[in-house]
Each structure stands twice: as structure tokens, then as C-alpha cells.
Chain A
Amino acid sequence: MYSRAYKMLVSLPPLFWVGVFLLLPYALMFTHSFWAVREGFLVHQWNLRNYYTLLSNPVYVGVLFRTMRIAASVTLCSLLLGYPLAYYLSFHAGARRDLLYQLVVVPLWVSYLVRGYAWKTILGSDGVLNGFLQYLHLTHEPVAFLLYSPFAVVLMLTHIYTPFVFLPIYAALEHIPRPLVEASQDLGAGSLQTFFRVILPLSIPGLLAGATFAFVLSLGDFLAPLLVGGPSGTMIANVVQSLFGAAYDWPLGAAISVCILFITISLLFLTERLEKRWSFK
């Protein structure tokens, strides 16, 4: 029904734009990772040294593992907060459900930076939490370990990704046919048994989607460590950022970026597979 000219007219401009402003930049990132820096200048000499450095330097490997650990903790914490909340809304909230749903979504619209800043003012050594603890006479000296630690990074990112994790889980729970749950109860299964044998397995696709999202986005975050992480909370994206800035080693930075990209894409691929296996349609 659409003419050849129509099809050309709608596909050529976006193809051109995306080719120049997305494909080319990503391709440049890829090629940079095989180049080198000599005496402060970028030389287009193809080699694998950047990847070798990345894998053999214990500092980079250490930061990469710490980043994975932080991302895994964020994922776990967001699931522990987001799943029960979604379950409560879907099965127990009754008439208040729509209002509560909106209340979970609203913080998604609050600036990332603003929320990070808020945690900074709460956790600081002369911050709100320390003021509160001293007000209650629970402590007499400020507790200093709260801010500028991996803990603070996990806390801030968990706060940001809990609503993100909540959304797909809630959608999955809402799609579970209620007669299945009732059948399970009628056949004599207790609440716990119904949850673990019926509800949880059916909500796995939503759970996987939320978990992947939280993990992937935490993995590449460089702002939370700068805001609340301090030196002990440095993550892999901060290494990339400094290699592109003060340290001036774009090829090595590009190699690490390609590595992050590779982890991200393989995870997305893997969960797509798993989601298909667990979906009940």
C-alpha cells in the first residue's frame, strides 16, 4: 500500500543520521581501542596491547571486580526492596493500588543528580543523619564512615534503581491469571507454598528484566562514585573517565569501554534467552 518513494523517504534520513551520529561514533570507540598513545600523541598503529594491559594490570582487574560486586549488591538490594513492594501492590493493596503505583513512579522523574545530592547531605559527617543520631544522644562524635564508601554508592544506586526494578516485576505480577492462584489455594496449598510454586516462577521474566536493568546501569555509572563514593568507592567507569581526562590514554580507555559494552550486551542477550524460557505463553 505504500509506494517505493514513500518507503525511501521515511527510511533514508534516519538511516543516514543514525549511521553518522551513532554507528560511526561507536565504531570510532572500537577502533581507538586497537590504537596506541606515544609521547602524548595518538598513533594509528593497530595492536592488542590495551586489552593485554587491561587483563594483566591488577589495579584494573581489581576495580572491575569491585564494580561487579557493587552492581550485584545494588541489584540484590533493589530486588529485595522492589519485589515485595510489587507483590504487596499487586495482591494486597486493594483500592489504593493505583495511587500507590503513581507514588512509586513519581521519584523516577526526580533528577538523578538531585537524588544523589540528597544522599550526600544525609550521610555527610555534619549531615542530617549524624545530626539526628547526636540529637537522640546515640552518638557523640559524627560517624564518618557513612559517606565516601562503597556502602554509600550501593545505597544511592539502590535508591535510584528500586523503582526501575519494581516496574517490570509489577507488570509481570499483574499478568498472572488470578484463577491459577485461587486454584492453588483451593487445592490446599498454603500462602508460602502458593507464592513459591505459582507466583514466583510466573514472575521470573519481570524479575530478570528488572535485575538486568539495575545491574547494567550500575555497572557503567561514574557519577555516584564521584558524588558519594570517595577513593574506596571508585568504579570502572571512573577509570575510563580519568583515562579520557587527566591521564590522557584514550586507547586504553576505549578498550575498557569496549569491555563494559561487551559485558552489557552479553548480559542482555543472556536474559533475553532466559526470559523466553521462563515465559509461560
Chain B
Amino acid sequence: MNSSSPIRRAPLLTIYAALVFAFVYLPIVVLFLYSFNRAGVGGFPPRHLTLDWYRQLFADAPIWDSVLNSLIVAACSVALSLTFGLLAALALDRATFPGKALFRRLVLLPLILPGIITGLSLLMFAVFAGAHLSLLTVFLGHGTALISVATTELFAGLQKMDRAQEEASLDLGATPWQTFWRITLPNLKLSLIAAGLLIFTLSMDEIAVTFFLIGRDNTLPLEIWGRLRRGITPEINAISTLIFAVSVGFIVIWYRVRVRGLGAEAQELLERP
């Protein structure tokens, strides 16, 4: 044995894997192709390719209003869930308090429960508190539900962190406040960026919780949802294709961040005496 994982021929398995890939990508390819189809979203083959649907999309004011709403909600949710997620991760990592195990499970609940349960619970709470449904309730819902994602990512970051730096900082006379801003936070930079990107994307795409908390102003997924019920045109394919392109852009940024992080870590390891 000279190789740790010998590649042996398995033609049937290879064909099967190719078919699974085809299944996973088929809808995305169809969506993309028919966004250029003059005749509409169905039929075969797509013919008379056109950019009309994109032109129509760019002139469609309600869509862009909803995009703006989604961007605002997502940006605010990132701020809210990163703040509380960071504190929760620090608390879980460093403090002991009664009900800690319960707290950990409670924070993670929105991540594992079906969205409808979290959405309806928050709706009941809004009614109970006498709040009007609006983008504010959507933001509070997203921000709170996504604390789960922030806590998971940042807790993992804290576990990997070297405590000695913080100890040294405190020993050398820095206040806990200075230590937090100059040591803890910079060390968590990568986890914060990764969590932020993930939360932003999840909030932009959220529909199950939003469904119950939305007021008069739509977010992008809810605007698309409303149009699906009224009859469909390739304009929706066009916006979906754009969303896909933006998501892929985010993934590329995310990997850049990760790879750069890895690169820095590797270099540090090399320079160690």
C-alpha cells in the first residue's frame, strides 16, 4: 500500500454521482435559461432569446422597493444578532450561571425548529405586546432567530482562541475593556465576518418566519411569493438568476476570507521557532 486513499474504478458509482449532480443543478439551469425565453417560463426548447425580462425587471419599482426593505432588514439583523450572539458566546464560554444548559438549548432552538413554530410564536408575542406588524417586527424576528447562528459561529471561534494573549494583556495592566477591544475582538474577526455573511444571506432569503410577521411593506421573498400566486413570468426567473449570482458572489468572498485566514494561520505556524 503506497497511497492512503487508492482511487479504484467504480464506473456505476461515478455515473450515479453525475446523475445526482444533474438533479441538484437541473432547476438552477432551467431557471437561468428561461430567464431569456421570450415565450414565457414553460415549453421546450426555449427559443427567441431576449433580454426583455431583465429590462422589465429593472423598471419594476415594487421589486426594487422590496429589495431595499430586505437589505435594511438584513443589515439590522446582522447588527442585532452579532451583538447578542457575541455576548451569548462569551457568556457560554466564560461565565457560570443557573440555567446555563437551558439557555444554550433555548438560543439554538430557532435553528432546529421548523420556521412556522418560531414565526407563529413571535406573532403571538407581537399581538400580546400590542405591536403593529411591520418591517420592525420582521427585523426583531430575524435578529432574534439568527442569534442562534451567531452564537454557534462565535462560540467555535472563542474555543479556538488562545487564552494566553488575554491573560498577558490583563497582567500587563490593560483594563478588561481595553483587552476586549484590542485582543478578544480582533482575534474573533474571521468568525465575525463569516457569521455576518451567513446571517445576512439567511435573512435575505428568510420566508417562514417573515410570512407571519410582515406588515404592509414586503421583503423580496414575500414580494416574489405574492407574484407567484398571481401568475408567473420570466421576470421572476430574471430576479432569481440575479439573486443566485449575488449569492455565489458572497460564497466567493466567504472563501477568500477563510483562505486568507488559513494562510495567515499557516504562516504564523511556519514562523514559530
Contact = CB atoms under 8 A, between A and B. Distances in A.
Interface of A: 1-3, 5-8, 10-11, 13-15, 17-18, 21-26, 28-29, 32, 81-82, 84-85, 87-89, 91-94, 100, 103-107, 109-115, 117-122, 124, 126-128, 130-132, 134-135, 159, 162-163, 178, 182, 186, 191, 216-217, 219-223, 227, 237, 240-241, 244, 250, 253-254, 257, 260-261, 264, 268
B106 A22 contact: yes
B30 A118 contact: yes
Given A10-B87, A21-B144, A159 B120 contact: no
Contacts of B23: 81, 159, 162
26 contacts: A7-B96, A18-B107, A21-B122, A22-B107, A25-B124, A32-B124, A85-B20, A88-B16, A104-B24, A109-B248, A110-B244, A111-B243, A112-B205, A114-B240, A117-B31, A121-B31, A122-B27, A128-B41, A186-B1, A217-B114, A222-B116, A223-B211, A237-B116, A253-B120, A254-B124, A261-B117
A14 B41 contact: no
B17 A219 contact: no
Contacts of A134: 44
A186 B6 CA distance: 13
Nearest to A115: B27
A140 to B, nearest CB: 14
A1 B228 contact: no
B34 A216 contact: no
Nearest to A162: B24
A14 B125 contact: no
B120 A257 contact: yes
B181 interface: no
B117 A260 contact: yes
Given A28-B128, A106-B248, A135-B44, A11 B221 contact: no
A111 B107 contact: no
Interface stretch (B7-15, B50-58, B187-195): B7-15
A38 to B, nearest CB: 18
